């Protein structure tokens, strides 16, 4: 049967991997290709590359960077950052990406999801959603790469995800903003609510701090994969140790 | 030894190219059969939908030459599915090099569609050359919504509520439903095994 995925995420700004807390105060944590190669060799099940500043400043993740990473790794590779057209996506896929994740550009023009799914198939199209609770409701946010430009969308998170799936997204990555970089555990409540309406693979993001957090999110929110950044970048845990722990706890992972 | 990598205009040809480079395997990206004249093996990669991919294979002459070819051929993902007689995806006829039909994956309770992620390879056929050096239970990376039910050309399978053909072969015609180019060391070994099959 299918294994649960452990997915390190490289948040990239100006050619370096950075990491913030709750989407603010980013610090440099390393070189892109070095980290990609290290995680691929360590047993990561997929790698996500987010050019976090791209959407907010109207730019797009560079195909050259996509190729430099894709050349080095032998695991699936998902790329995000200001991809706002079929041609933008095609250039990144031809450069070596396996999947395209869209977030702010999909909120700007939702039919981008339909167009990408039609052209490349749903399996290529990942809907990234940045969400936090505002006045008791989960709400979608855009331009989260730049704290000064971040804003709350009028859409409710569950409505937006249902619409994205209807339009042909083949996977959902839910970034729970209040948990980002805090290492206090995934937002199980929000993830479970999304799981209940999500018929495609669902990836949890935001909050991983201890091995137990991964176990909880798989057991309690039944997500297909768990994405994490700072715990891996800062050496809080090694992917191999994490997987050995999960396997011992009865969670199916790729050794 | 040179592998012809058929460019069907599908999106992930770079991933396959990089994997062949990492494995140190010579290859040429070719669009038409004439371009593959000096190659001794052929890989048909594939990401996308069956209908448009078959249209491109027909337009470029591959649908006529591949059935007569005789060189070792390996289809990957959609490329594997196109080797069969028919696909329910768009209700199109395939190349017909392997017996069987491609159907939509059912959605048993609790499983998501498409089948996306690392699944264990099981049910190895004895002597399958693509599986040399690989142990049963090894994981490979799958991404697909249509499948070929395990049957007589199946050399390895995986379980996704139903038995899914993971590796198929009949004579020189073989295929992987998963992506060896994105399946870590297991995938690299399968690509090397393919390169070692006697032409």
In a domain? residue A26 = yes
Share of chain A above pLDDT 70, in %: 99
Would you place residue B181 in the very low, low, confident or very high pLDDT band (cuts 50, 70, 90)?
very high
* Domain-located, residue A242: yes
- Assigned domain for A105 exists: yes
Residues A152 and A139: beta-carbon distance below 8 Å: yes
pLDDT for B11 beyond 70: no
pLDDT bin (cut points 50, 70, 90) of residue A28 is confident
Which of B10, B39, B77, B158 is catalytic? The answer is: B77
Range B83-94 average pLDDT: 95
Asked whether the predicted pLDDT for residue B27 surpasses 80, the reply is yes
Is residue A89 a part of any domain in this protein? yes
Kindly indicate the confidence band of residue B10, based on its pLDDT and cuts at 50, 70 and 90: low
CB contact under 8 A, A170 and B179: no
Domain contains A180: yes
State how far the alpha carbon of B193 is from the alpha carbons of A121, A127, B51, B131, in Å.
29, 36, 30, 7
Asked whether residue A255 is assigned to any structural domain, the reply reads no
ipTM of the modeled complex: 0.90
Peptide bond into A209 cis (omega under 30): no
In this complex, which of A2, A122, A124 lies closest to B11 when CB atoms are compared?
A: A124
What pLDDT sits at residue B26? 95
CA proximity to B76, closest of B1, B152, B114, B20: B20
By C-alpha distance, which of A48, A52, A39, A46 is closest to A12? A52
Among the ranges given (A41-50, B44-53, B171-180), the one the predictor scored with the smallest mean pLDDT: B44-53
Residue A11: active-site member: yes
The rounded percent of chain A whose pLDDT value lies above 90 is 67
* Domains, in order of start, for chain B: 3-196 (3.40.50.880)
Is residue B107 pLDDT above 90, yes or no?
no
Rounded mean pLDDT, B106-135: 93
Domain that holds residue A135: 5-248
Mutate to test the interface with B, among A83, A95, A123 (most CBs of B within 10 A): A123
CA distance A109 to A55: 13
Find the CATH number of the domain harbouring A62.
3.20.20.70
Instruction: Tell me whether residue A253 is in a domain.
Output: no
Residue B134 and residue B116: Cα distance in Å, rounded?
21
- Is residue B179 part of the annotated active site? The answer reads yes
pLDDT band for B30, please (50, 70, 90 cuts). Answer: very high
Instruction: Assess if residue A254 is contained within a domain.
Output: no
Q: How far from the centroid of its chain's Cα atoms is residue A166's Cα?
A: 20
Chain B residues whose beta carbon lies within 8 Å of the beta carbon of residue A224: 112, 116-117
């Amino acid at each position: 049967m299918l294994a649960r995925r452990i997915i390190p995420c490289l948040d990239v700004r100006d050619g370096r991997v950075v990491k913030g807390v709750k989407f603010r105060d980013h610090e440099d944590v390393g070189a892109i290709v070095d980290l990609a190669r290290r995680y691929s060799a360590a047993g990561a099940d997929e790698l996500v590359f987010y050019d976090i500043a791209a959407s907010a400043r109207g730019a797009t993740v560079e195909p050259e960077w996509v190729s430099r990473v894709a050349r080095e790794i032998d695991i699936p590779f998902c790329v995000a950052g200001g991809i706002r057209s079929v041609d933008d996506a095609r250039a990144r896929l031809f450069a070596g990406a396996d999947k395209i994740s869209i977030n702010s550009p999909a909120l700007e023009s939702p039919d981008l999801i339909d167009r990408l799914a039609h052209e490349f198939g749903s399996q290529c199209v990942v809907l990234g959603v940045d969400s936090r609770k505002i006045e008791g409701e989960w709400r979608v946010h855009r331009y989260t790469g730049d704290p000064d430009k971040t804003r709350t969308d009028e859409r409710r998170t569950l409505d937006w995800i249902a619409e994205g799936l209807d339009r042909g997204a083949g996977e959902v990555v839910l970034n729970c903003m209040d948990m980002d970089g805090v290492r206090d555990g995934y937002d199980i409540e929000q993830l479970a609510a999304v799981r209940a309406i999500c018929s495609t693979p669902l990836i949890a993001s935001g909050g991983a701090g201890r091995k137990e957090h991964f176990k909880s999110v798989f057991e309690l929110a039944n997500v297909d994969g768990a994405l994490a950044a700072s715990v891996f970048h800062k050496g809080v845990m090694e992917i191999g140790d994490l997987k050995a722990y999960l396997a011992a706890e009865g969670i199916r992972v790729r050794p | 030894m040179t592998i012809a990598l058929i460019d069907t205009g599908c999106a992930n040809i770079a991933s396959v190219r990089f994997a062949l480079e990492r494995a140190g395997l010579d290859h040429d990206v070719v669009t038409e059969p004439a371009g593959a004249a000096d190659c001794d093996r052929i890989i048909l990669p594939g990401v996308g939908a069956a209908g448009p991919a078959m249209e491109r294979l027909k337009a470029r002459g591959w649908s006529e030459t591949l059935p007569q070819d005789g060189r070792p051929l390996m289809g990957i993902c959609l490329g594997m599915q196109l080797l069969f007689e028919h696909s329910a995806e768009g209700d199109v006829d395939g190349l017909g090099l392997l017996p069987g039909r491609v159907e939509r994956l059912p959605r048993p309770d609790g499983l998501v569609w498409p089948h996306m992620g690392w699944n264990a390879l099981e049910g190895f056929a004895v002597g399958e050359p693509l599986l040399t050096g690989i142990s049963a239970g090894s994981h490979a990376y799958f991404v697909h919504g249509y499948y070929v039910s395990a049957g007589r050309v199946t050399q390895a399978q995986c379980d996704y509520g139903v038995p899914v053909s993971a590796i198929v072969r009949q004579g020189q015609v073989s295929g992987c439903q998963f992506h060896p180019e994105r399946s870590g060391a297991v995938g690299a070994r399968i690509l090397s095994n393919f390169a070692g099959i006697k032409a």
